[in-house]
Amino acid sequence: MMGRFRQVSGAQLWQWHARAALSAALCALAGTIGATSATARIMFFPPDTVARQSTSQGEWHLTIARDKFSGELACQLKSRDGRGLYRSGGVGFKFHFVRTVTDAVYRIDRGDAHASRDDLPRLIALNTPIDHGSMADPSDGVVWVPYDRIAQAQAIAIEPQRGDPVRVFHLRGLATLHDLAIARGCAPESRFVEK
């Protein structure tokens, strides 16, 4: 090895070129050539150009990825079972097999019932991505709750539709990992990603 360059085998070089060609083709199909997103740029470099840190606490998991070349940061805060996700000041709770959650009601730490639709103005002001699905069901079975309402809570019980079974989501670790993410540079809120 000389200087700052490392020696690579022909097979590694071929893999990198093949990966770059595939990435370029996929980006061209998706129309992302010239995009500045971390995803589009990371695909053109070998996987060792992204540094990842992961930690879990309670029911939640935090992953922070930094592109070593650009320094760009992406953060993901989600529940271990994948049904809870933090994005832009809101926490979304996914209900599979539920047609619509427009009439969802929730209770925080066994408190009073609260209609999730009453949170819509606050979520819109926070730029929370509440419209995941199709025109028929924009919520895509996700009930969004402003983070500041549940930051100090232990659990949230949600009834996705009137008469449906209530599901309890545990929030232990959410606030701690959120604070850790902010301390490690996951601000502004746009740094939090879904995938």
pLDDT in tens, 12-44: 544 544 555 545 544 444 444 444 444 433 344
Cα(189)–Cα(87) distance, integer angstroms = 7
End-to-end CA distance of the chain: 37
Indicate the residue type of 98.
Answer: V
Residue-wise pLDDT tens digits, 80-126: 999 999 998 999 999 887 768 888 999 999 999 999 999 999 999 99
48 CB-near residues (< 8 Å, 6+ apart) = none
pLDDT at 133: 58
Residue-wise pLDDT tens digits, 163-172: 889 999 999 9
Q: What are the distances in angstroms from CA 90 to CA 35, 78, 85, 123, 192?
A: 26, 12, 8, 7, 11
Reference 130, options 109, 101, 106; nearest CA is 101
Indicate the residue type of 38.
Answer: A
Reference 154, options 106, 109, 90; nearest CA is 109
Looking at per-residue pLDDT, the higher value among 138 and 51 belongs to: 51
Strand segments (E) across 68-194: 73-79, 84-87, 90-94, 105-108, 113-115, 142-146, 155-159, 167-170
Given the structure tokens 């606490």, which residue do they identify? 57
